[in-house]
Amino acid sequence: MPIEINWQLLMPELVIALTLLIVLVFDLFDSISKTVLGWMTIVGAAIALWVSIQMHQAGTVGTQFNEMFKVDNFSLFFNMIFLVSTILVVLISMSYLDRGDRKQGPYYLLILLATLGMMLMAAGNELIIVFLGLELMSLSLYVLAGYFRENPASSEAGMKYLLLGAFASAFFLYGIALIYGGAGTTSIPAIAEKITAESSSPLLLAGMFLMVVGFGFKVAIVPFHQWAPDVYEGAPTTIAAFISAGPKAAGFAAFLRIFMEALPNLQTEWSGVLILLAMLTMTVGNVIAIAQTNIKRMLAYSSIAHAGYVLIGLAAANNDGISSAMLYLLIYCVMNIGAFGVVILAKTEDGESLMISDYAGLGTRKPLLAMFMSVMLLSLAGFPPTAGFVGKFYIFKAAIGAGHIWLVIIGAVNTAISAFYYLRVVVTMYMREPEEELEFSPYASTLVVGLIIAAVGVLLIGILPSLMLTPAQNSVF
What pLDDT, in 10s, does the model give residues 315-373?
A: 888 888 899 999 999 999 999 999 888 888 776 655 566 778 878 888 888 888 888 88
Q: What is the pLDDT, as a whole number, of residue 236?
A: 85
Kindly give, in sequence order, each residue whose CB lies less than 8 Å from that of residue 403, ignoring residues fewer than 6 positions away: none
Q: What is the pLDDT of residue 37?
A: 87
Flag whether pLDDT at 115 surpasses 90. Answer: yes
**pLDDT higher than threshold 70 for residue 142:** yes
pLDDT band at 3 (very low <50, low <70, confident <90, very high): low
Q: What's the whole-model pTM score? A: 0.92
Q: Backbone dihedral region of 200: left (phi > 0), alpha (psi from -120 to 50 degrees) or beta? A: beta
Helical pair 237-244 and 319-345, crossing angle rounded to 10 deg: 170
Separation between Cα atoms, residue 381 and residue 422, nearest integer Å: 6
Helices (H), 260-361: 267-290, 295-316, 319-345
**Of 293 and 197, which is predicted with more confidence?**
293
Give the range among 44-48, 137-141, 234-238 with minimum mean pLDDT: 234-238
Residue 449 has what pLDDT? 87
Centroid of chain to Cα 233: 17
pLDDT value, residue 355: 79
Give the closest residue to 180 by CA, choosing from 166, 195, 168, 159.
Answer: 195
Lowest mean pLDDT among 15-29, 98-112, 287-301: 98-112
State residue 475's pLDDT score. 84
Place 90 in a pLDDT band, splitting at 50, 70 and 90. Answer: very high
Given a cut of 80, whether residue 450 has pLDDT beyond it is yes
On the question of pLDDT at 89 being above 60, the answer is yes
| Residues 399-437: tens digit of each pLDDT | 998 888 998 999 999 999 999 999 999 998 888 877 666
User: What single-letter amino acid sits at 436?
Assistant: E
- Cβ atoms within 10 Å of 355's Cβ, excluding its own: 13
**How confident is the model at residue 28, as a pLDDT?**
82
| Alpha-helix residue ranges (DSSP H) falling in 1-151 | 11-26, 34-57, 73-98, 104-123, 127-145
Query: What was the pLDDT predicted at 304?
Result: 92
Mean pLDDT of 257-270: 83
% of the chain with per-residue pLDDT over 90: 37
Angstrom distances, CA of residue 226 to CA of 165, 285, 297, 427: 11, 11, 12, 29
Q: What's residue 6's pLDDT?
A: 79
C-alpha 257/C-alpha 260 separation (Å) is: 6
Q: Measuring CA to CA, which residue among 381, 393, 379 is closest to residue 466?
A: 393
Task: Write phi, then psi, for 361 (nearest 5 degrees).
Answer: 75, 10
Q: Where do the structural domains in the chain lie, given as residue ranges?
A: 11-473
Instruction: Give the model's pLDDT for residue 410.
Output: 92
pLDDT at 118: 93
